[in-house]
Copies of this chain bind each other. A is one copy, B any other.
C-alpha cells in the first residue's frame, strides 16, 4: 500500500499511498499533527536537527475527500548541511548501515545516513496518519506508549492481563527501576548522566489495538501477527517483537495460557487474553497488544574506534548533538506502522 522514497539530506522524503479508499474526509492538519508528534518536548529525546517537516499532499484528494487515486505526499528537506557529513563519506559508523549499504550497492549517499536514516520513518508516520483516518471510520484505535527506557520501567503498571509482558526483567542485573512517566525526575537524571557521557540507551514500546472486528488476518502466510512483526522489525533500531503472552509464554503451562471462551452480553469472547487478540493468525475481536524492543541509538557523542572503506583503523569523533533515547519519538512510528497493517488487512 505504501511506497516511500527519499534520503536524509536529499531534496525531499515522501511516499505514495496506493489503494486508499475513496470518499473519506481527509483533514491535512491531522496528518501534520501526527508528524509533529515525532518531536516530543523533553530534550533528551529530541535530535538537534531543526526541520519544520511541513507535509505537502500532491494528489489523491479533491475537495477535502480522498478520490481512490494514489495519495502522494512529501516533505522537503531544508536542513541539508551537506558539509557536516564530508567526514563520513569514507567511514563506517559502528552499528549503522554504512558498511552493509556499501557492500550491497557499491555506492551510498553518506549525507546523514542517506536512505538508511531514521528520517525515512517520517513517511511512515504520514502514511500511518492516513491509515488511522480509515481505521477511525471503523472505530479501530491504535495506542502505543513507552514502557521501558534503559534500566527503567516507565509508567503505570498494567492490569493482570498484561502482567506477563509488562514485567519482563530483561537482563540488566539487579532489580528493575521504576519511573512514573517520561518526566519522572529519576529517569531524567539517568538520561542526564547518559548525555554527559555522550552515551545513549534503548527501550520498549507497548502497543494496543482496540475495536478490531473478528476475522482480520490470513490463516497461514499472512497471519496478522506475522504482518505486525514484519512491520515492527522494519522500523530502524527495532530488535524484537512479541504479542500477547510473548516470550513469557515459553514458561507457561497450557492450562494457564489457554483463553477460555465465554458468552457475555450475547457476544462470544475470551475471558483472558494471552492470545493477544489473535488466534490462528486471525483477529478474535479482543484487544490486540504487543511489545517492541529498541536498541540504543547508534550515533554516540563520544569517540569510537572503527575502520574506513580501506579497512584502516580510524577514530569516529562524537560531535554535534543527537537523541539520548529515540523511543519516545518512536511511539508514533509504532502506531503508524500498526495502523498501516490493520488498514491493509481491513481492505483485503
Interface residues of A (CB under 8 A from B): 3-7, 10-14, 16, 18, 22-23, 56-60, 62, 65-72, 74, 92, 94-97, 99-101, 103-109, 114-116, 120, 148-151, 163-164, 167-172, 194, 197, 199-204, 214-217, 219-223, 225-234, 236, 239-263, 266, 268, 270, 274-276, 278-285, 291, 293-300, 302, 304-307, 311-313
Whether A239 pairs with B245 at a CB distance below 8 angstroms is yes
* Apart from A67-B108, A229-B232: 15 A-B pairs, beta carbons within 8 A: A10-B59, A22-B106, A62-B109, A99-B268, A99-B284, A104-B217, A172-B251, A200-B253, A226-B231, A229-B230, A229-B233, A239-B244, A252-B295, A261-B307, A268-B311
Residues of B within 8 A of A275 (CB): 95
Q: How far is the CA of A74 from the CA of B257 in the complex (A)?
A: 34
Residues of B within 8 A of A108 (CB): 62, 67
- Return A256 CB to nearest CB of chain B, in Å: 8
Residues of B within 8 A of A291 (CB): 247
Residues of B within 8 A of A257 (CB): 95, 202, 295-296, 298
Residues of B within 8 A of A115 (CB): 59, 67, 69, 219-220
Residues of B within 8 A of A151 (CB): 251
Whether A226 pairs with B219 at a CB distance below 8 angstroms is no
Whether A58 pairs with B5 at a CB distance below 8 angstroms is yes
Residue of B nearest to A223 (CB): B234
Pick from B72, B232, B304: contact of A14, CB below 8 A. B72
- Return A13 CB to nearest CB of chain B, in Å: 8
16 chain-A/chain-B pairs, Cβ below 8 angstroms: A5-B58, A5-B69, A62-B114, A65-B107, A67-B114, A94-B270, A95-B257, A97-B282, A99-B279, A100-B214, A115-B219, A151-B251, A220-B234, A226-B231, A239-B244, A245-B295
Whether A284 pairs with B67 at a CB distance below 8 angstroms is no
Copies of this chain assembled into the complex:
4
Whether B170 pairs with A171 at a CB distance below 8 angstroms is no
Residue of B nearest to A97 (CB): B280
Pick from B95, B164, B227: contact of A258, CB below 8 A. B95
Q: How far is the CA of A106 from the CA of B169 in the complex (A)?
A: 42
Q: A164-B171, A279-B95 are in contact. Are A253 and B194 (CB under 8 A)?
A: yes
Pick from B10, B222, B302, B305: contact of A260, CB below 8 A. B305
